[in-house]
Chain A
Amino acid sequence: MESFSLKRSTVADRNQPNLSSKVYVRSTKSGKVQKIVRELYLRQDIPCSSNLCRECLRIAPKDSADKVAPFVLSDTPAGSKNYPNGQYLVPDTNAFLNGMDLFEVETAFHDVVILQTVLEEVKNRSLPLYHRLIALTKNEGKRFYVFFNEFRQETYVARNPGETINDRNDRAVRKAVQWYNQHIQEAVTARSKKSKRVPSVVMISDDRDNLRKAKADGIPASSLSDFVSGLENANELLDMISASQERQEIRSGKTEIFYPEYFTMSKMMTGVKAGTLHQGIFNVSPYNYLEGSVHVPTFDKSLLILGRENSNRAVSGDVVVVEVLPKDQWKAPSTKIIEEENVNKNDNPEAEDGENIISERERRALQEEVKRVHGQTTEGRPQPTARVVGIIKRNWRQYVGHIDRDSVRSTSKSSRQQQMVFLVPMDKKIPKIRIRTRQAGELLGQRVLATIDSWERDSRYPVGHFVRSLGELESKGAETEALLLEWDVQYRPFPKTVLDCLPPEGHDWKVPADTNDPGWRQRKDLRDLLVCSIDPPGCVDIDDALHARPLPNGNYEVGVHIADVSHFVKPNNAMDKEASSRGTTVYLVDKRIDMLPMLLGTDLCSLKPYVERYAFSVLWEITPDADIVSAHFTKSVIRSREAFSYEQAQIRIDDASQQDDLTQGMRTLLMLSKKLKQKRMDAGALNLASPEVKVQTESETSDPVDVQTKRLLDTNSLVEEFMLLANISVAGKNYEAFPQTALLRRHGAPPKTNFEELANQLKVKKGLELRTDSSKALADSLDKCVEPSEPFFNTLVRIMATRCMMSAEYFCSGTQAYPEFRHYGLASEIYTHFTSPIRRYADLEAHRQLAAAIDYEPLDPSLQSKAKLEGVCKNINVRHRNAQMAGRASIEYYVGQALKGKDITEEGFVMKIFSNGFVVFVPRFGIESLIRLRDLATPEPEADFDAENYVLDIKVGKGRKVELFEKITVRITDEKEESTGKRKVKLSLV
């Protein structure tokens, strides 16, 4: 019968000890369900990677260069109390899931073996944690080694009949630990007969059953918390263990349920497909933490989500599935400011009993809301309201915040007692996080980084754990790091692999003198052109330079020369990957976080004056009426004659005594730029405004001394016009060459509903009409929004209009139809970013595409794949937005610091009115702040809110009316909030 069988045994049998297989079911996106059989060929040459072992070094597979991968684990690993001879750690899946932050600590957890079994399980359970784990294995100092135990014959474990996958994997981990111990023992003995120091290989697990079985088999094992307790600074480390596991054990006894259960995944998917449920990203209103909205593809307007119960444990940013509530439960969006810190000030983080999801005070706040809504007619009509029924994807990240002082029971620094405290995140949209800590006393008054671990149905707030402290509140270092973390800006120094990609000559790199050098291939020699650059003062990363000269036929030749970054950054090397993930340079008030290493950004690529540099040039022939006759693209070598600041350039142009060719060229540029701008405006380009201020800092300490609003000179718009022109020309060329894969930038026309509120406000308050049928109509009607007595009114309206717009985005041309390419704000059919490759990755990609379009070099395959480009676009869109936000937050922080201890009276404008407060914008400092009724007098004064006319009639003193768009005088002070220890700019009515 033996010879008859064709079967390949699934269990390794005697005849085939090195063959096994793995069977599982795979469900594909299209709904197919497949049985997958993977054959496993077990081998014996997978090294243990311990420097103690010589045998493995001999058998380890060699690469093409005949080299063995260097061994990772130290031959003298650190020991601990229980394992004085040193230890190699083998954590199981739960250990990583609960304590990833611990493993990332620099001071502890070295020499760790990551089993393949564990790595795969981590990948299945949490992709972000998996990526962090992979990053750890690349960190040479940490000595993390991935051991492929499933492929090594000795450590392979076949699943027993009836055994669950989990049990089998646990057994595989134990088996691997057992083998490792034996193997290391043998290795040490083989090395020298005398050596007694044999490191233990210790399994780290939080699974009690696993620990018990390990003990029974005599395998060294320890729970994560037991192990950490044996280390130095155990208190800090213990706080970093995820809270989810402990909780379950503690609270298993009593289960009071506060939130409805989520639907099953299949039920949600079915519902979404059938259109009865909707999927979207959950957003919390910045003014009211109880009000959220979800934009779903089915409807134009976002769905409203009111109250904790309906938002059902969703945290701002999560991808959720919602169900629209019956019409009688629809509500109007709130006109009231509700801040968590005020409503729930007195919550006790420890108390779990009798806790309701809606506290009494919250209920009252909501009650008033409902009453108000019912008494209303037109404005604030009830809107479709929904509730969250499930979460597709949590987008939890690490949150920066501070410990709520009121939630700390004992503040003594010596007390090592563990207690529950609240962490109040900086981001108001995020609920308080309950964290368990032993160092509450020390953490008070510090900026703290924490993560959310879980949010169970029986807990009112999410539970998380401490990651690390950034430093004292309000200290520059801590606050800067905090905002970089909040906006996910990668600010660590460039790793060595990236720096290795730089030219070996370093700062001595020069454009080769010999024009036969390969660097000169297909490069135009434009060194004799009178090129200059105009930038903000103190700019070191000079992306662009310009020139203009008259042609014999009466037209002008105008050139825009952009730093040739793509010459230095080749696709797909480490530097390119780093730049791609950073996406953009981030500018803070006192700091710049570069996308490319300094050497390139500020020297080799930067178009510095008086030296020769590689450039990518766009040359036009332009008529004196600013009509484009022709455009030409070429790689070039230029020598900038001068680097001006906007102001210097302006002075030089205005100075009639300067008659040299360079100044004449600049005058030509200015003349042409004005005509170009007029053309753009005629085509319907929008002139939008955002509140821009500049913080003046003391040069030494970079402490803020003054705040100024930015001045705009003619030369600003000179540069801007030609950059726009270059971008548009390049976009057209790239699209022509690569209709499917050109990287472009679009700005969608905003949906009409976005402007509804603003248009109504203008109509009611000022009798002005805002027309939004086209960008031209909008531009014209914005021009008419003037109030002769108040020049700033127009700017205010523009600021508000800007907020109604969509944000511009990068995209890959193959993903949209041509009419969708349109840039609404610039009124251009097609647009891309080309002119700042030093600080934006999109421009670098555009450079590569343009170089291929003019047959300078072949296009890298990564730029030909639509899918890859879409990935790049998605990332740089996020990075771009984050960089802007981080920049704004930085300015906000410095403005706050500049105002510290001051008491100023300034003019402000009312931007938004609620029933219990209003938002005031102060143009002088570019700050926007809320004035609540209760700030005006205690007890909180009564007020009548006329929502239709946007008037708040406050009954304080002899009565005071506040209207929308009204110019009021406010007093600006700063105050430190007692409960939070946070400094805030405070406005009050004068």
Chain B
Amino acid sequence: MAPPPSLQVNLSPAELSFIRSSLAQTPPIRLDHAKGPKDFRSMRAECDVLPGANGSARIALEDGTEALVGVKAEVEKSQWRPVPGESARLTAAGEVTMLDVDDAADKDENTKGKGQNSWVEISVEVPGFRDDDALPVFLAAMLTETLLASGELKDRLYINNRFHWKLYVDVLLLSPLLSYPLSLLSMTTHLALLTTRLPALKSEKDEDPLFDDDWDASVQLYGKERQQIEKPPVIVLAMAVGSNIIFDPSKEELAVADAVLAVACTTSANSGGRIVSIRTVDPPSHLTPPGVPNAMNSATGGKVPTSSADALTQRELLSNSGVWTPPRGGMKRSLLSGIVKMVVEKGGVAEEVIEALQRVEIG
């Protein structure tokens, strides 16, 4: 997807070239020179901001980008659908079948695979954009995709054969679009989901659900008793410049990226980090204006290429001259595996980010 106009930076080819070359050094020097390649921008986070929502969180980045996420859960009637291998229970729709659960202990087992994608609905609102503009739609799709990828979340929304929770996640960017917000929105969503509580169920089996009216008795969607279960995934942005990998790029850094990856990762207590999904994001660097080398500039005594084909050939030769050329995209296999490794390894980015967010909830 092409980056929206507001994400384009007004930097001259020379400035772009300078940023790129400093990022491409070993070790890279980032725009905020105090940060290493794996360092995130500092942020302030807070959870349970909205009293009326089932869960909520707010995160503000140091550059002023701020997001608010509210999670609302509603009971919804499930559509009856036949389950293969249970033909004996294929009675008319609407008929209640009191399925006897053998053991309450394996209830989690029972809900496995019963969740449906439509039970989670995410809407993203970005100031200055209509809700059918490409950016919000794309962001919402990315967030939805990562949340549903593992199937953990939707299975957790299963109540019984006839009812489920429907989760509405409302993502709101509070500030103007100062940097590419995907990672921020994802982290805020993650935090909001961690604090989400659902009213405690009192009824059994396939009865119409009945809930405890005490809010203190409500259960966490990602509760402590489900420690072994994966946390909601978080999307981190990683960009490649030359052979360097840089996480959580700022707006200017993104403008010189060779390629950008959105990596959705999660952790669980026993198995450490895990990649849920990866997508490439079209970096804004593609649209930056190319620098004009002296050799091609008549004002500096150069020779203007005669045809566009000629210009292309000449530019091919320029690649290592230091004159800014928008990158063509694509990423080497080794870089990709490098990113994956850095994300999932023990003490890697995934663990670090998720642990940090976990601490927000406790603190």
CB within 8 Å of B: which residues of A? 1, 4-8, 10, 21, 23-27, 31-33, 35-37, 159, 161, 165, 264-267, 269-271, 273-274, 276
Contacts and interface: CB of A to CB of B under 8 A. Distances in A.
Given A32-B74, A269-B208, A276-B96, A25 B215 contact: yes
Nearest to B210: A266
Given A35-B215, A276-B96, A266 B49 contact: no
Contacts, number: 84
B39 interface: no
Contact of A6 (B49, B52, B94): B49
Given A35-B199, A266-B210, A269-B207, A274 B215 contact: no
B100 interface: no
Nearest to B208: A270
Contacts of A25: 199, 211-215, 218
B75 A266 contact: no
Interface residues of B, number: 33
B256 to A, nearest CB: 32
Contact of B209 (A26, A266, A273): A266
A274 B199 contact: no
B131 interface: no
A361 to B, nearest CB: 38
B69 to A, nearest CB: 13
Nearest to B209: A266
A817 to B, nearest CB: 27
Contact of A165 (B73, B204, B206, B214): B214
B103 interface: no
Nearest to B72: A35
B207 A267 contact: yes
A671 B336 CA distance: 109
A24 B214 contact: yes
B207 A23 contact: no
Contacts of A5: 46
B128 interface: no
A266 B202 contact: yes
B211 A32 contact: no
B214 A271 contact: no
A32 B75 contact: yes
B52 A26 contact: no
B108 to A, nearest CB: 21
B74 A33 contact: yes
18 contacts: A7-B48, A24-B213, A25-B214, A25-B218, A27-B210, A31-B208, A33-B74, A33-B209, A33-B211, A35-B54, A35-B215, A37-B51, A264-B203, A264-B207, A266-B204, A267-B203, A270-B206, A270-B207
A23 B44 CA distance: 27
A641 to B, nearest CB: 67
B100 to A, nearest CB: 13
Contact of B51 (A23, A270, A274): A23
A4 B52 contact: no
B164 interface: no
A35 B204 contact: no
Contacts of B94: 274
B62 interface: no
Given A25-B199, A266-B202, A266-B207, A159 B51 contact: no
B216 A264 contact: no
B109 interface: no
B190 interface: no
Interface in B184-237: 199, 202-204, 206-216, 218
Nearest to B77: A31
B31 to A, nearest CB: 25
B204 A1 contact: no
Contacts of B96: 270-271, 274, 276
A381 B214 CA distance: 51
A616 B96 CA distance: 58
Contacts of A21: 51
Contacts of B199: 25, 33, 35
Contacts of B58: 6
Nearest to B199: A25
A159 B216 contact: yes
Q: Which of B77, B95, B215 has the most CB of A within 10 A?
A: B215
Contacts of A270: 96, 203, 206-208
B169 interface: no
A1 B44 contact: yes
B126 interface: no
Contacts of B53: 35
Nearest to A8: B51
Q: Which of B44, B54, B199, B218 has the most CB of A within 10 A?
A: B199
Nearest 4 A-B pairs (CB), nearest first?
A266-B203, A266-B210, A270-B207, A266-B207
Given A4-B60, A25-B214, A273 B44 contact: no
Given A4-B46, A25-B211, A33 B75 contact: yes
B206 to A, nearest CB: 7
A265 B44 contact: no
Nearest to A6: B49
Contacts of A6: 46, 49, 58
Nearest to B75: A33
Q: Which of A6, A25, A26, A159 has the most CB of B within 10 A?
A: A25
A37 B48 CA distance: 13
Nearest to A161: B216
Contacts of A267: 203-204, 207
Nearest to B44: A4
Interface in B42-93: 44, 46, 48-49, 51-54, 58, 60, 73-75, 77
Contact of A7 (B46, B54, B203): B46
